[in-house]
Amino acid sequence: MFKKSIVALITPFLKDQIDEGAVEALVAWHLAQGTSALVVGGCTGEGPSLSHEEHRVLIRRARASTGGRLPLIAAASTFTTKDAVFLARQAEKEGADALMVLTPPCLKPNQEGLFLHMKAVHDAAALPLMIYHNPGRTGGALHDDTLARLADLPRIAALKDSTDTLSWPLSLRLRFGDRFALLSGEDPTFVAFLAQGGDGTVSVTANVAPKLYAALHDAWYAQDLAKVARIRDRLFPLTKALFCTTNPIPVKYAVSLLGHCRDEMRLPLVPPTPKEARLIKDALITAELLDA
């Protein structure tokens, strides 16, 4: 489950409600495109703007569309441990295969607080857990010794790292071996992350280029490095455009151009500016994912 191309799925909206039909169609598309697993309700999925009931509906609809053929990782990431535990238990009840837990944003707990938060969610449900490390969004970073304590818990299965510190995955691999999977959460550097001991990617860009992401990971595991380089170079301008402003504004617009959802955000997020929209569209055309 925690390897190759995992998509951090957007959440389609229609008149400020989850577009359940679009969710099911998106999941079916990713299944056909070779995606390895899906993360729902994360930052790219505008998870912080979802109610508990919407979180439940999102997992249920995605689960119905996969038919058990594609692993579903549900985000259980909120400000408080109590809410994260609730979301973890709800996700398990609705059929999620695993959980993703972000270090709590804004509150900036110390290392003991981070450990106890993750442990509480781990203990709340009998599902594998992926730790999501994104200090740029949360203001708090996990230390290696804290991660070592977490690694001793039986269902800690993966770490998603959204930093560009490319020495860290190698350091973790040498220290922990294969005790848990290492996944890149940074699209611009994910190939380098693989070379530093990574197992795969939790990707934003794969929302619009799932077949290319799947093919690149297959090529990596087959050690076809020439093919890896060709796909990497084709994807890079697109990835750069999809981070021209705050994620997930660009990627949701890009998915809408491909006809899979509406370009509808929830405040405080807003659609891209005309200049940003042109940049995103041109990048899709350059990547041969959209006709000119």
Active site residues: 132, 160
Q: Are 44 and 8 in contact (CB under 8 A)?
A: yes
Residue 10, sorted as left (phi over 0), alpha (psi -120 to 50) or beta, turns out to be beta
Contacts of 262 (CB under 8 A, 6+ apart): 12, 13, 14, 19, 22, 256
Nearest Cα residue to 159 out of 178, 137, 179, 132: 132
Q: Which two tokens stand for residue 246?
A: 């705050």
Q: Are 91 and 72 in contact (CB under 8 A)?
A: no
DSSP 155-223: TEEEEEE-S--THHHHHHHHHHTTSSEEEE--GGGHHHHHHTT--EEEESGGGT-HHHHHHHHHHHHTT
Contacts of 105 (CB under 8 A, 6+ apart): 79, 137, 138, 139
Nearest Cα residue to 40 out of 60, 21, 25, 17: 60
Residue pointed to by tokens 């455009």: 241
